[in-house]
Amino acid sequence: MGSQVDEREELTVLVTGFGPFREQYPVNPSWEIAKDLPSYLPPLRAKDPNSRHAVHLPDVRILVYPEPIRVNYKVVRELVPSLWETYKGGKVDIVIHIGMAGPRPYYCIERRGHRDGYMHPDVDGEKVDEDGERKPGSDWVWRGLPEEIETDLDPEDVLTRWQRHSPKDMDLRISEDAGKYLCDFIYYSSLAELWKQDRPRKVVFFHVPADASHTNIAQGRELAVNLVRSIVESEVSKRREGESS
């Protein structure tokens, strides 16, 4: 019965990307990758060696937040709760936030977000007033939440599937530190929103290299599609294992 439901239902994955990051990065590859993702996860090609072992998936709708998110703490803080509401007529099952990670050449998914330590100003020169927010009597949005919150996705299982679906020469990793800047901030914001609502934390942060060349953007987009597939495969497989046990 459960697998029949899986075959009929549609899963929605919402993807976000960031806007320009200061003068040295006028084009943020995270948005360039996100903005042209397909509306639905394409089927595996028959010649793909993984197609023989593929998990039968429901339809996977890919929604992209319609504009690059400004690299600004206040903008992120005000935006994130709305992403987890009913979005464009349907519930959001999974969110993938994409951001750039400077000159490092590899791609990674982040395991956790951090509540504190945001010392660097955003693109508008603003900082997070952590001391002021934590004063007694303040209505700090993260009061009482853990210093770190981890995704409820299974990073190891997702990584294994992601590597299997991607070219062998791609350096794909799990990261344990999202950097305590806007990438970390948006990730923790999503994790915290789900924590407060006592909802499964089906969200991950995808860090991409800063190279915004046409070749690199095309490669990043392919890896993003593979990541969507890997996350959904992982979730559907675990659900079916639970139903059969």
Q: Over 50: is that where the pLDDT of 108 sits?
A: yes
**How would residue 152 be classed by pLDDT, with cut points 50, 70 and 90?**
very high
User: In the predicted model, what is the mean pLDDT of the chain?
Assistant: 90
Residue 78's pLDDT is 96
Residue 5's pLDDT is 38
Ranges of beta strands (E only) in 3-157 are: 10-16, 59-64, 94-100, 107-110, 112-114, 148-150
Contacts of 65 (CB under 8 A, 6+ apart): 14, 15, 16, 17, 34, 83
| Tens of pLDDT, residues 154-181 | 999 999 999 999 999 999 999 999 999 9
- Percent residues over pLDDT 70 in the chain: 90
Residue 104's pLDDT is 82
First vs last Cα of the chain: how many Å apart? 14
| Tens of pLDDT, residues 184-215 | 999 999 999 999 999 999 999 999 999 999 99
Q: Over 50: is that where the pLDDT of 7 sits?
A: no
Residue 129's pLDDT is 84
pTM of the model: 0.92
